[in-house]
Structure 1
Amino acid sequence: MSTATVEGAYEGALRAFKNPMLDLLHGTYAPFVVTMLALVFTAQRSQVPVADAHAEIDAALGRLRAAGYGEEGNAPLPVGSSRDLCRGWVRSGWLKRHVQDGVEVYQVSAHGVGALEVAGRVGGARTRVSESRVRTLLDAVEELAQDADPDVLSRIARLDAEIKERTAEVDRLERTGAVEPVGDDQLLEEAENVLHLARELPADFARVVESIKQVQRDVVTDLRQDVRPTGEVLREYLARGKDIMESTREGRAFAGALALIGRAEHIDQLAGNLRLILGHPFAEQLPAAQRRELHEIARRIERGVREVLHAQQTASHVITTQIRNHDPLRDREVDGLLRDVMSGFQRWMPTSRHKQPVEPMRRLPVADVGHLRQKADGLRPPAPPTPLEAWEMGAVPDDDSRAWGGPHYADLEKHLAGRPREDDGTVDVGAAFRSAPERMRRPVDLLGLLEIAHRHGMVETDEVVTVEAVRPDGTRRRFAFGGVAMRDEHEDEGGTTDD
């Protein structure tokens, strides 16, 4: 064994154990952390409000201490409030804290999900070498070999062999009319293999979401620190933000998987297959927890896809907004102010005492600019406003505000009643509007005429009618509409109709 090989392997192991997932599992309070993450954050509740999470963890700590845990010689429990514990978990990378719909929530990170998966596999049933697991491996290797082999003849030969095998199976089914039964033991092995594969999905989805958010943070950070011309910044970062799913390895892998699991018909087919499996008698031999896992597979995939797509849309929106509002000078000023604040805290903290009061800043400092006014004078007007003119209730003001109101329905009804009828007993609405006095030819009166015609029964014609309306201020406007004629309601009441 060479020294270089040992050093390289040891460096790789050191890097691996710096992973937050292994750090969680290696910690003193790992059983408690895994228990809390598994109980508070379930498949149905992946995001929990901060206040709710603190209350649930506090209640769990109280129950465990009442049961005797945390005492000397027993399983250790962490010291401190749930708020402090959650803050530490966020710093360690096991939890994420963000705002969702205006509420601060916690969510398990990809490292936390991975730790839960490892703990669940170790603490649950042991994974067995089974026919189903080996067949899954062999099928994956065969598919990889077929994709990697560029030889056309070998691919044709494999397809011919598969066609012959399928044809022989169809002939046997048609000849015998019976499907060979599969033993319950084999079905149970295949169900365990399906659950093993499904348990990997939440961590995979969480890694894709975190990789997208990391790209978002990198782009925004680079943009804030950029001093290049704005046009160059726009071209580069718009190119990255245009399709953020292509910017990470996890995103590209998810985009390929989305073609299979992102279509509604595929999810429906998966849900139907799961219902068929759970309805089989062998499923009664599965523990209740495994049956729930099988039932939740389709819903878990849908939820994971939605989370990834939501992260993609959010990242694209944040990057686009940052680019649109990018101001390098202002960003540098904000960064400088923040650095000054942090430097002030670093100077103050070593000399401060516990619970030392801090004198707050009562007012903002005044800018030392000579030509700016520092005091506002004349806020009170020299004289009160002129009192309103008194007028009796019900009296109409001098200005005819009625002219700007709605249609004159009564006058319009009288005007239509006095219009001559056509041979078929109808009244042309367009001609009636043109012949009305100017005070009744406002745009709202045209609408009133059409409403009256509709109420009394109207007939639409194929011609286009153009009229000119006059507003109360004298401005004119032309309107075009389909020709409308109003029936004579008295004639309709006296005669007969086809109805």
Structure 2
Amino acid sequence: MITRAEAAYAGALRAFQNPMLDLLHKRHAPLVVSLLSVTFTAERPTVPVADAHTEIGDALEQLRAAGYDDSLPSGSARELCRQWADAGWLVRQVLDDDVEVYRLSAHAVGALEIAGRAGGARARVSGSRVRTMLDAVERLAQDADPDALVRMARLDAEIRRLQEELARIQRTGTVEEVDDEQLLEEAENVLHLARELPADFARVAESIKAMQRDVVTALRQDERPTGDVLREYLERAEHVMESTSEGRAFAGALRLIGDPQRLDELATQLDAVLRHRFTQRLPATQRTELREIGRRIEQGLDLVFTAQREASYVITAQVRNHDPLRDRQVDELLRDVMTGLQTWMPDARRGQAVEPLRRLPVAEVDHLRQTAGDLRPPRQPAPLTDWDDSADVDVSHDEARAWGGPHYADLAELLRGSVVGSDEIDVAAVFNAAPPGLRRPVDLLGLLELADSRGMTETGELAFVDAVRPDGSRRRFAFGGVTTLTTKDHGDEGPRR
């Protein structure tokens, strides 16, 4: 049977295996905390890899110049960042514009918050903090108690208290001022709550990335149908906001950010707080933290939304391009490469030359399918049919005229006969009412030419006409409707030149 001491010790061992406590437990923890805090800020949550190496290298040189050389670790800034990434304090990722950046992991954010609180003002058991706890317990009791009569009694008591306060203010015209010490306690409590948000948001984002890795791994293993894997991912994504305290905090912040009125009220309330005289007793950093609460919420939400978009993009790309055979080949190749590196690294020296791969290995093919070619020569194409251009073709004058150009004279007579008393004539209506001999496609062009010579106006509507070719075939045309004037003082025997 495990004793209480053994259980407590085992729990402490598990706790110190957490990267957050591991960071604070290391020998060079003060250096790691200081460098990460000056490199990553609320205004700069991600830093390009090259910039981070340069800035951390400059900071190390400044510390060595100040006499801290004995307490600093050996190695370059690049090596330190790689160690921190391996330990789970930094996350390396590639943005949409192919820029590789570092960002703090949730463990690093939590460690920095703990170090900041320990190095700053000591948290006090204040009335504000106790009232926050009591309000939380009261809300918990209300949500847990389904008794309608009890709920009604509480609401009646709250209404009476508010009515009495309203009556007192209306009677006296004054509001009781709160002591500055109490306001300071409440401000410290607000800052304490706000400092927990970045780590919560980072944990939600990392839980989404963990789900992404699990889904991609399951898809690559190809042990279950793709539909089952995606269904499980959607269920986990749906409940991630309810299964953890970080997820619930994110869901609450999401409801806040989704209501513009609440955001405006938050900004107005923070402005009222910062205008009060008690804020002059707060350090400048705490006043800045109060002012930036809304922006920190927006940054945390953006971090989670970015993780969701990346997870959707990666999973979608995996589903579209999933090839089990190719994935297995890539996995085997990567394992061979890692095995080769592990074999080569122990005996390798710094700066040792590596023999490059000058040509790719030849594929080992046991058998190629062979097909015999056709030995018969290709056949020549069939000869062209002889055509005598000088031979007489029996085509009458009427047939040749039927396939010729527009009958301008007949079309002009058609326009003159279409005047019914209006100042304008619809060209499409005139063409549709014409006899079949004047409804050829070329006659439509001729009619439009004559209408243009009279003065043509566009109606802005679409007109349809049915043209008839000399062989009896029909063709339907559509064009912008036009009208022409009924004036007879035009030369209508041909088109305007």
Equivalent residue letter for 2:28: Y
Cα distance in 2 between the residues matched to 1:154 and 1:14: 46
Runs of 4+ displaced beyond 4 Å:
370-373, 418-442, 456-461, 467-470, 475-481, 483-488
Summarize the Cα distance change of 1:487–1:289 in structure 2 as closer, same or farther, 3 Å threshold: farther
Aligned twin of 2:490:
none
- CA shift in 2, pair 1:422/1:157, >3 Å: farther
Contact 2:218 2:229 in 1 (8 A): no
Aligned partner of 2:227 in structure 1 is 234
Residues 164-179 of structure 1: matches in 2 within 5 Å?
164-179=160-175
Separation in 2 of the partners of 1:362 and 1:427? 83
Partner of 2:353: 357
Superposed CA offset, 1:302-340 (max 9, x none): 111111122112212322332333332322222222222
How many angstroms apart in 2 are the aligned matches of 1:360 and 1:139?
A: 69
Deviation at residue 426 of structure 1 after TM alignment: 4.8
Q: Letter of the aligned partner of 1:67 in structure 2?
A: A
Larger Rg: 2
Q: Contact conserved, 1:426 with 1:487, CA < 8 A, in 2?
A: yes
Q: Distance in 2 between matches of 1:365 and 1:477?
A: 66
Aligned to 2:89: 94
CA distance 1:432–1:145, change in 2 (3 Å): same
- Contact conserved, 2:215 with 2:229, CA < 8 A, in 1? no
Distance 1:439 1:8, change over 3 A: farther
1:205 equivalenced with 2:201 (yes/no): yes
CA separation of 1:285 and 1:365: change in aligned 2, threshold 3 A = same
Asked if 2 retains the 8 angstrom alpha-carbon contact of 1:225 and 1:328, the reply is yes
Q: How many angstroms apart in 1 are the aligned matches of 2:474 and 2:18?
A: 76
Instruction: Name the % identity.
Output: 58
Paired letter, 2:122: R
Please list the CA deviations of residues 415-449 of structure 1 after superposition, one character each: whole Å capped at 9, or x if unmatched.
9xx9889966556475699999958989xxxxx99
Structure 1: gaps spanning 5 or more residues:
374-414, 443-447, 491-499
Letter in 2 for 1:92: A
Contact 2:204 2:247 in 1 (8 A): no
- The farther-off stretch of 255-264 and 288-297 is 255-264
2:79 counterpart of 1:80 = no
On the 8 A contact 2:39/2:55 being kept in 1, the answer is yes
CA distance in 1, matches of 2:285, 2:92: 29
The answer to whether the aligner puts 1:29 opposite 2:22 as a matched pair is no
Whether 2:340 is the aligned partner of 1:347: answer no
One-letter identity of the residue aligned with 2:39: V
Aligned partners of 1:342 and 1:476: how far apart in 2?
75
1:15 aligns with 2:14: yes
Query: Matches of residues 141-152 of structure 1 in structure 2 within 5 Å?
Result: 141-152=137-148
| Alignment map for 1:424-463 (pairs within 5 Å) | 425-426=423-424, 428=426, 430=428, 458-460=458-460
Is the 1:468–1:478 Cα contact (8 Å) retained in structure 2? yes
Q: Structure 1 residues 422, 236: CA separation in 2 closer, same or farther (over 3 Å shift)?
A: farther
Q: Kindly tell me: are residues 367 and 180 of structure 1, through their superposed partners in 2, closer, same or farther at Cα, counting changes over 3 Å?
A: same
- Displacement, 1:343? 2.1
Letter in 2 for 1:107: R
| 8 Å contact from structure 1 (residues 224, 331) kept in 2 | yes
Unaligned ranges ≥5, structure 2 = 370-410, 433-437, 488-497
TM alignment of 1:242-321, pairs within 5 A? 244-247=237-240, 249-250=243-244, 252-253=247-248, 254-321=250-317
User: Within 1, Cα distance between the matches of 2:420 and 2:286?
Assistant: 82
Asked if the contact 1:238/1:320 (under 8 Å) is kept, the reply is no
Which range is displaced more, 53-62 or 428-437? 428-437
1:196, distance to aligned residue in structure 2 (A) = 0.9
Q: Distance in 2 between matches of 1:215 and 1:340?
A: 27
1:234–1:487 Cα change, 3 Å: same
- Does structure 1 conserve the Cα–Cα contact (< 8 Å) formed by 2:253 and 2:297? no
Distance 1:17 1:49 in 2: 30
Work out the CA distance in 2 between the residues paired with 1:477 and 1:186.
Answer: 90
Verify the 8 A CA contact 2:89 2:107 in the aligned structure 1.
Answer: yes
* Structure 2 equivalent of residue 336 of structure 1: 332
RMSD value over aligned CA atoms? 3.5
TM-score, normalised with respect to structure 2: 0.76
The aligned length equals: 423
Q: TM-score, normalised by structure 1?
A: 0.75
8 A Cα contact 1:220 1:322, kept in partner: yes
Structure 1 Cα separation of the partners of residues 136 and 118 of structure 2: 25
